[in-house]
Structure 1
Amino acid sequence: MPDGPGTGLTVVCGVDRPASATVAAALRPPRGALVAHDLRGLGEGVLHRRVVEHDGEQPVEHTAVLELAHGCVSCTLREDLLPLLVRLARDPDVEHVVLLLDPGLEVEIACEALHAVVPDGTDGPVTDLLELHGVVGVLDAATWLDDAGSDDALAERGLALTADDERTVARLVVGHAEFADVLVVTGRCGGAWERVRLDAVLARLAPRAATVVAPAAVGDPGPLGAEVTALLAALPPDARRGVPEDTQAPLLRGQPPLARDAGVSLLHVGHRRPFHPERLHAAFDVLLHGTVRARGRVWVASQPEHVLWLESAGGALQIGVAGTWLAADPDAWDDADDEHRAAAALRWDERWGDREQQLVVLVHDADPAGIVEALDAALLTDDELALGEDAWRRFDDPFEHRHADPCEDLAGEAGPVTGRHEGGAR
């Protein structure tokens, strides 16, 4: 475990409220605090907060109903959660804090706030005061794979945070598993084959995560808490520990298995020519059926200077600007970090520089060959390539910042997005 402040912090996430609450309670040590928020009233500006602290020999629970000026995730983090964590970090009687996230709150957004936002009255982020030991993801073996491949909206499951929350269940459950350092698997699969397939998906989605199988009925959660705590303490130095990764980071960190297993495949797609914007848009259908995750850096001919980041979970996909290719901006090389420059130098092409396609697609119920064929067909042909950049810029582009349906512009808390497609590339 890395050197850091004396007070520890563990983040617990999952869409099953009772199961996640059980795991979080099991992880709270005798002189620890448990913080949990219920965001189901966020759309009305109401926040329910529960804090369990040590007081002598018995834990004491404090509950509060708070009103926010603006019912949004950002206000919840800035106005309540982060100041509360600062207060607990400065309390000498608190040795460890367990943060239980509301099922509708994306773990990456919460952890980004822990690492980057500076609360009032402090000189740095919360992680300067609390040592983040790791993220624990809780998933249900019986339902997770179906949820991860679906296009069901959060509102259909009672998980939406506001009336206009259009996110999907897949986006949450895939994010929870992918971001976790330790996975706690509850429930039971329908059979041995279903369990093999689930394990094959998780090995490719979260190759660095340790896995704990929870007992069918958790009577005494103590042994489960001790096992998870031991795994967190034994995480390797390169464990994620809640640190969001840059879009230029390697896509296959953790050395996930690439061989096909139980019908589950991890495809790595790399090309040294740009996509035609309209044909790429049309190819999205193959990324939204029978897949768990697609993510990576995209080079579209009509925007030769922009790195586009593509990310899908189940039946929902979004794509947005994630920076500038180093070859397109003379100043970008100096602004890039050492890891980015080293990776670009290794892949540098005499004609295109660092421009390339780098996509990873996790397939569980689709034909991998069909995905590769559709993406290959979206690349520029030799004749189109010969037209040059001036002609490419005149291609019709569904991914421009301002464009009409079928895409809907978004500018959400996850960053600038140029197009979103849910349930297929409509």
Structure 2
Amino acid sequence: MLSVLAPETDRRTPVVVLAGFAGPAAAGADHAATALCGDAPGTVVVHHDLGQLREGIVHRTVRSATYETSDVLELAHGCVSCTLRIDLLPLLRTLAARDSVERIVLALDPAFEAEAVCHAIEHVVVEGILGRVDGPAGRDVRVEAVLTFLDAGAWLADATGEETLAERGLAKADDERTVAQVAVGQVEFADAVIALGAVLPGGDVDRGKLAAVLARLVPDAPVDWVDDPQLLTAARIEALLTRIPANSRRGKVFDAHAPLLRGQPPLSSDYGVALLEFAASRPFHPARLHEALDVLFDGVVTARGRMWLATQPDEVTWLESAGGGLRVGGAGRWLASMSETELAQADPDRRAMAALRWDDQFGDRDISLVILVHDADPNEIRAALHWALVEDDELRLVERAPERVAQWEDPFGAWHADPCESSDTALPIEDVKSPRGEAK
């Protein structure tokens, strides 16, 4: 059984989340679920097959070492969120109430994002469970670990491409999420990673580059390199799970104001892979920024962070990219623009960090971005972003004539998604608890 690191007083049922983006990765996750299920009678595996979601049908399987049940669910709206709300979350609470269930393994369909699932477990209220008080599934279960499987030979190409899930045939036509967004998100949210297919076409160079990306994307997550999914025995998986550090996130969703660099990632370059930090104490000119952001679409795995736009002095703007797609959205207000009542309700850690860099004129407003490059020149990216900052004369207008600055061209006025040609249907980032948003 999995070594439980939660406090002894926590009697909630542990949940292990298995995520794998299609192909060999999804097959590896399924094999791991079968191995864990057969090894421990108290383990129950739950899987929702969303392959027919566009027809409003979901196939649900619940299995243990001694039984298996399969059901076909007909969902009126046929979306990921209603599958979570109507079936998965109530099922977690129901299973947790059974004495025979010691652990739940969630083998996620590729259309599910582990971050969205974990956020729902903690925050979405489940009503009408007989004998249970209305509340989130987190009252009865806790996320013990998120284990992500990836196809070592294809993941980096997926993580840096432009294809959408719909184009890949993995989602409804109106789902604007990209393959890169899901591939990067699954790994970024992982407590441990299993890289399948350890022998890569490019040999040691390809493996070294992928290892360098993982070391910077999830520096604290142990990585197991596996040639064949058949080698994924229960004992091997359990051993990997016990290597997860005690301070790992374990399903915790960070908001937009949390530190952007977590753990201790290497800050040097390796196989052309490097982390670039960009910080500034003056705002971006929105029109120039819109042009400069093209540098994030080639040779970059992911970028994320908080931005200060000259035309939006009260609002924190969140940027997040994966491969060839980028989204910009709101992340609340700057502390300096809050009322006393709002300040009193702000997160104490955020207030403490802001106090360390508080500016007499602009308060906590600043720019902080982290960019993971794999085949780009960090100096060119830095130069492009620096060019997008307001110049000295423009900064004086920001200080003395904000009403004039508010009239500048602002492509981000109603938030933004790239590529621009698809921005009319792209999903805005509105939930700063889960900046990637959720498919509808």
| Aligned residue in 2 for 1:387 | 397
Given the alignment, which residue of 48, 69, 81 partners 2:88? 81
- Measured in 1, the distance between the counterparts of 2:367 and 2:428 equals 26
Amino acid in structure 2 at the alignment position of 1:194 = D
Change (3 A) 1:89 1:217: closer
| Aligned residue in 2 for 1:103 | 110
CA-to-aligned-CA distance 1:324-376 (integer Å, 9 cap, x gap): 00111223321211111111111111221100000000000111111000000
| Aligned residue in 2 for 1:424 | none
Aligned residues: 410
Matched, 1:2 2:17: no
Q: Using the TM superposition, give the Cα deviation of residue 6 of structure 1 relative to its aligned residue in structure 2, in angstroms.
A: 4.4
| Aligned residue in 1 for 2:31 | 22
Change (3 A) 1:10 1:217: closer
Aligned residue for 1:218, secondary structure, equals helix
Q: Using the TM superposition, give the Cα deviation of residue 416 of structure 1 relative to its aligned residue in structure 2, in angstroms.
A: 6.0
Worse-superposed segment, 103-112 or 151-160: 151-160
Change (3 A) 1:220 1:197: closer
Q: Using the TM superposition, give the Cα deviation of residue 412 of structure 1 relative to its aligned residue in structure 2, in angstroms.
A: 4.3
Change (3 A) 1:359 1:77: same
Given the alignment, which residue of 243, 261, 279 partners 1:231? 243
Worse-superposed segment, 128-137 or 83-92: 128-137
| Aligned residue in 2 for 1:205 | 217
Amino acid in structure 2 at the alignment position of 1:42 = L
Change (3 A) 1:276 1:226: same
Is the Cα contact below 8 Å between 2:329 and 2:415 reproduced in 1? no
Is the Cα contact below 8 Å between 1:41 and 1:47 reproduced in 2? yes
Amino acid in structure 1 at the alignment position of 2:175 = D
Worse-superposed segment, 372-381 or 34-43: 34-43
| Aligned residue in 1 for 2:438 | none
- Measured in 2, the distance between the counterparts of 1:142 and 1:403 equals 32
Is the Cα contact below 8 Å between 1:8 and 1:131 reproduced in 2? yes
Given the alignment, which residue of 331, 349, 363 partners 1:353? 363
Is the Cα contact below 8 Å between 2:278 and 2:382 reproduced in 1? yes
Change (3 A) 1:324 1:6: closer
Is the Cα contact below 8 Å between 2:329 and 2:416 reproduced in 1? no
Q: Using the TM superposition, give the Cα deviation of residue 98 of structure 1 relative to its aligned residue in structure 2, in angstroms.
A: 0.1
- Measured in 2, the distance between the counterparts of 1:414 and 1:87 equals 32
| Aligned residue in 2 for 1:311 | 320
Q: Using the TM superposition, give the Cα deviation of residue 288 of structure 1 relative to its aligned residue in structure 2, in angstroms.
A: 1.1
- Measured in 2, the distance between the counterparts of 1:350 and 1:292 equals 36
Is the Cα contact below 8 Å between 2:319 and 2:327 reproduced in 1? yes
Amino acid in structure 1 at the alignment position of 2:278 = V
The alignment-based identity, stated in percent, is: 47
Aligned residue for 2:180, secondary structure, equals helix
Q: Using the TM superposition, give the Cα deviation of residue 69 of structure 1 relative to its aligned residue in structure 2, in angstroms.
A: 1.6
Change (3 A) 1:337 1:226: same
Q: Using the TM superposition, give the Cα deviation of residue 7 of structure 1 relative to its aligned residue in structure 2, in angstroms.
A: 2.0
Change (3 A) 1:402 1:352: closer
Q: Using the TM superposition, give the Cα deviation of residue 163 of structure 1 relative to its aligned residue in structure 2, in angstroms.
A: 1.9
Change (3 A) 1:360 1:338: same
Aligned residue for 1:37, secondary structure, equals strand
Is the Cα contact below 8 Å between 1:136 and 1:181 reproduced in 2? yes
| Aligned residue in 2 for 1:93 | 100
Is the Cα contact below 8 Å between 1:11 and 1:98 reproduced in 2? yes
Amino acid in structure 1 at the alignment position of 2:157 = D
Change (3 A) 1:215 1:276: same
Amino acid in structure 1 at the alignment position of 2:403 = D
Amino acid in structure 2 at the alignment position of 1:183 = V
Aligned residue for 1:157, secondary structure, equals coil
Given the alignment, which residue of 265, 271, 284 partners 1:275? 284
Where do 5+ consecutive residues of structure 1 fail to align? 421-426
Q: Using the TM superposition, give the Cα deviation of residue 223 of structure 1 relative to its aligned residue in structure 2, in angstroms.
A: 3.1
Amino acid in structure 1 at the alignment position of 2:242 = A
Aligned residue for 1:302, secondary structure, equals coil
Change (3 A) 1:336 1:220: closer
> What are the residue-to-residue correspondences of 1:166-181 with 2, within 5 Å?
166-181=176-191
- Measured in 2, the distance between the counterparts of 1:125 and 1:338 equals 25
| Aligned residue in 2 for 1:370 | 380
Given the alignment, which residue of 162, 168, 193 partners 1:151? 162
CA-to-aligned-CA distance 1:42-65 (integer Å, 9 cap, x gap): 1221111111034xxxx2111111
Aligned residue for 1:65, secondary structure, equals strand
Matched, 1:255 2:271: no
Where do 5+ consecutive residues of structure 2 fail to align? 436-440
Is the Cα contact below 8 Å between 2:31 and 2:232 reproduced in 1? no
Matched, 1:341 2:347: no
Aligned residue for 1:259, secondary structure, equals coil
Amino acid in structure 2 at the alignment position of 1:111 = C
Is the Cα contact below 8 Å between 1:402 and 1:409 reproduced in 2? no
- Measured in 1, the distance between the counterparts of 2:415 and 2:322 equals 24
Is the Cα contact below 8 Å between 2:159 and 2:181 reproduced in 1? yes
Aligned residue for 1:163, secondary structure, equals coil
- Measured in 1, the distance between the counterparts of 2:427 and 2:108 equals 19
CA-to-aligned-CA distance 1:202-256 (integer Å, 9 cap, x gap): 0110112111122435156233223234235xx31x2100111010000011121
Structure 1 segments of 4+ aligned residues over 6 angstroms from their partners: 402-405
- Measured in 2, the distance between the counterparts of 1:39 and 1:406 equals 28
Is the Cα contact below 8 Å between 2:195 and 2:224 reproduced in 1? yes
Provide the aligned C-alpha RMSD in A. Answer: 2.0
Is the Cα contact below 8 Å between 2:89 and 2:126 reproduced in 1? yes
> What are the residue-to-residue correspondences of 1:395-406 with 2, within 5 Å?
395-401=408-414
- Measured in 1, the distance between the counterparts of 2:262 and 2:254 equals 11
Is the Cα contact below 8 Å between 2:152 and 2:195 reproduced in 1? yes
Amino acid in structure 2 at the alignment position of 1:81 = L
Q: Using the TM superposition, give the Cα deviation of residue 5 of structure 1 relative to its aligned residue in structure 2, in angstroms.
A: 2.2
| Aligned residue in 1 for 2:207 | 195
- Measured in 2, the distance between the counterparts of 1:254 and 1:356 equals 23
Aligned residue for 1:63, secondary structure, equals strand
- Measured in 1, the distance between the counterparts of 2:181 and 2:415 equals 24
Amino acid in structure 1 at the alignment position of 2:366 = E
Worse-superposed segment, 98-107 or 121-130: 121-130
